[in-house]
A and B are shown apart, each in its own frame.
Chain A
Amino acid sequence: MNWLEMTLCFPLLGAILNGLILRSESKTLAQIVSVTACFLAFFSALFLSYDVLTHHEGLKVYHLASWIEAGSLSVPFSFLIDPLSSLMLLIITGIGSLIHIYAGGYMSHEKTTYRFFAYLNLFVFMMLLLVTGENFLIMFIGWEGVGLCSYLLISYWFEEDKNAKAGMKAFLVNRIGDIGFLFAVFLTFKQFGTLSFLDLKNILLNSHTLTQEMQNSIALICLLMLVAACGKSAQLPLYVWLPDAMAGPTPVSALIHAATMVTAGVYMMTRLSFFYFLAPQIMTVVAVLGCLTAFFAATIALVQNDIKKVLAYSTVSQLGYMVMGCGVGGFGAGVFHLLTHACFKALLFLGAGSVIFAMHHKQDMMEMGGLKKYLPKTHAVFLLGVLAIIGVPGFSGFFSKDEILWKAFNYPVIGPYLWAFGTLTAGCTAFYMLRLYTLTFCGENRSDHHTKKHIEETPVIMWGPLAVLAFLSVFIGFVGVPAVIGDLVGIPNFFEHYLEPVIKMPHAAEENWHFLRDHHSHALEWTLMGTSTSFVLLGALLGFNFYKRGPKGISLILKKKFSRTHKFLTNKYYVDEFYENIFVTPLQEMSQFLWKIFDLIFINGFINGVGRGLMISSALSSWKNSGGLQTYAVFFVLGCLVFLGFFLK
């Protein structure tokens, strides 16, 4: 058994053990099983990565078994370990382990938790499949698997209608993306005759010129894949499921809807970077889409009152950053932001979870406030998380966000606009994060008497993981210090070198992307960095000052003044309603209509007719269905004889 098999099998084993075999009433047992599974997977992944990165020149394909062998289609169960996938492995299993531990505390009021932990482990397994798969189909298994687990976990408390509906929504919206994925797979196979990433990469990297037809189909594949990424990574038209997904338990939000699953789209685009490089026009779409999503979600987050909703929109916004990073050709930057975001967003979610836990499942920020003195530890780590996400210099978010913004600025033609929106978004982010922080932790406590009496610091099982994540949030950024700063203080940019072997530019695409290699002046970069940092600080200051006296004060005045804008934002630009009216209702009505015309008259008539006909004919022939075992056997034997006689001629 090699490290890869162990990495993959531990979470699966944990899920099977918890969900099918033990089904233990004991919460402790369920948690021990799943945490152990996840930790073992983490260590295996650690060894696996170390092994592959040091001994196999950073690339190894594990061929476990053959799966589909049909004509020219050959899809094996093979897994690819390279810097990108080992990074993802470590994020998933590492942060996953911490969240597993945390979940034990968070779920301690449930009756049984084995189902929950089984789902979590299953999710980890599926996610591992997704990131280690060497071909489209393995990735697709993981892709669908994480969707399934997400559905199961969002509607974990399915007794409530709202949760069940949220799960359904996530599932259905994701289906749209999956259709894109599937069509992309079909097209890829049709065009290239293989589904293996490495094969595709070799084909494309080594071809110097591409035919027009090839280029078109590559563009189409990229577009379809973008649709898929939009679904999974909650990008602009399809982001609506993510805020609703907050109905699930908070550890789930942290693990699935912040740290890992939603980044699958970014991962996938990076994995297929050689495709995207060859489709510059689609890349522009990607960049614009990411940028718009980032800005759009950030504006909504400005006015949300539910603590998890704010974080959810913040996640959408940060995902927008990542996608924008990919779109402007900075896949490394996108993945870097993915890494830092995984740390600090998990931290923030878990911190929010602690707050919610302490507040007895109240999520409205308007009822919080002043928790600083009740939850000192949570407060400390949460503050670090906030500083990391808004991008205060020195914190991890700063480096990654800055990298993306710098890459965006260099993008030809629309680059400066992207940068401007990105910076604006960063300001918004700072504003709403500080708003969240201030409303939650500062000022007076606004909750009712009963709740206030019972607020107490969360157990160590919950803030322990938070502390680890806080540490990571602060320092993980130093693995990818941008060159300008790095040269100054003498820290090289590890991360860029680390991902270099994965993100290769095909020869045919080089002329379109020359600007990536162009040298830009350091002064410009410093200026941009300064500008964006000042925007961040401005936003932070505003956010803090507006809300430091609670929801009253300046914020109330502003709210009155811009009441229409506020309403518009509070209702999330009416996107849900828009979808409801444009897609859902007409669809329902059309279905109603079709049901009346086709189902009732044609299909029912046909089927009933067939049924009646069968009734009549079966009444005629039921003499032979005597129910007599042996009569049947006789006909069976006679049939066999006829069959044999046919073959013996």
Chain B
Amino acid sequence: MGEAISFYFLASILTVLSIAVVTVQKPVVAVALLVFNLFFLAGVYALLGAHFIAVIQVIIYAGAILVLFMFVIMILNPDMDLKETGDKGKKFILFSAVSVGFLFFSFKMFEQMAPLTKEDIVSEILEDNTYEIGLQLFEDYIWPFELASLLILLGIVSAILISRKPSQNKSV
């Protein structure tokens, strides 16, 4: 009961926020809404028993990645070119095509989804799954884990390289 209430509450907030994020005019507002969105999504994760993932979502996604967005907006102050460009009619046609495609596709998907049997569902919510996740990550996922560090390294290096001040002898 409580779970259902919480879920539908969070889901409706998330739906509204998701739509708002992509439709508002100002990037700052969008980022702020996205923060809320991610925060409430963490709530959904918690509802699903993924406490650790929920916290990670808050720490990294809401607490770090979106700070980055915020900073970029602050640095660039890009509200000057906010007007939407492009051929309205063409955009509308494509928009409806994609939307219809998604709708159609989702119907098909739910139609074809094999229903979960009772045995599939493990209803017990794992308590203290931090430990379990840790074990699994460090034992079964060693290589992805080490590769993740490489990915981070790559991220650091390329971000610094890209955002460096453009040098004087630019070719183009």
Contacts and interface: CB of A to CB of B under 8 A. Distances in A.
Contacts of B101: 637-638, 641-642, 645
A251 B108 CA distance: 71
Nearest to A635: B94
Interface residues of A, number: 11
B15 to A, nearest CB: 21
A647 to B, nearest CB: 10
Interface string A612-645: 0000000000000000100100100110011011
B105 A641 contact: yes
Interface in A269-323: none
A638 B98 CA distance: 6
Given A648-B109, A648-B112, A638 B104 contact: no
A648 B98 contact: no
Contacts of A631: 94
Interface string B99-116: 001101100110010000
A645 B97 contact: no
A641 B108 contact: no
A645 B108 contact: yes
Contacts of B109: 648
A596 to B, nearest CB: 41
B105 to A, nearest CB: 6
- Which of A638, A642, A648, A649: most chain B Cβ within 10 A? A648
Contact of A648 (B86, B94, B97, B108): B108
A642 B105 CA distance: 9
A598 B58 CA distance: 68
Contacts of B102: 641
Contact of A638 (B86, B97, B108): B97
Interface in A584-629: 628
Nearest to B107: A648
A130 B41 CA distance: 60
B108 A634 contact: no
A628 B102 CA distance: 22
B104 to A, nearest CB: 7
A634 B109 CA distance: 21
B104 A645 contact: yes
A631 B97 CA distance: 13
A649 B112 CA distance: 9
Nearest to B102: A641
Contact of A645 (B86, B94, B98, B105): B105
Nearest to B100: A641
Contacts of B98: 634, 637-638, 641
Interface in B99-143: 101-102, 104-105, 108-109, 112
A634 B112 CA distance: 26
Interface in B67-116: 86, 94, 97-98, 101-102, 104-105, 108-109, 112
A645 B112 CA distance: 11
A634 B94 contact: yes
A370 to B, nearest CB: 60
A622 to B, nearest CB: 15
A648 B112 CA distance: 8
Contacts of B94: 631, 634
Contacts of A641: 98, 101-102, 104-105
A642 to B, nearest CB: 8
A165 B108 CA distance: 65
Nearest to B85: A628
A116 B77 CA distance: 56
Nearest to B108: A648
Contacts of B86: 628
Contacts of A642: 101
Nearest to B97: A638
Contacts of B112: 648
Nearest to A644: B105
A132 B97 CA distance: 61
Contacts of B97: 634, 638
Contacts of A634: 94, 97-98
Nearest to A641: B101
Interface of A: 628, 631, 634, 637-638, 641-642, 644-645, 648-649
14 contacts: A634-B94, A634-B97, A634-B98, A637-B98, A637-B101, A638-B97, A638-B98, A638-B101, A641-B101, A641-B102, A642-B101, A648-B105, A648-B108, A648-B112
Q: What 5 A-B pairs come out closest when comparing CB atoms? A: A641-B101, A648-B108, A634-B94, A641-B105, A648-B112
Interface of B: 86, 94, 97-98, 101-102, 104-105, 108-109, 112
Given A634-B94, A641-B101, A648-B105, 17 more contacts: A631-B94, A634-B98, A637-B98, A638-B97, A638-B98, A638-B101, A641-B104, A641-B105, A642-B101, A644-B105, A645-B101, A645-B104, A645-B105, A645-B108, A648-B108, A648-B112, A649-B108
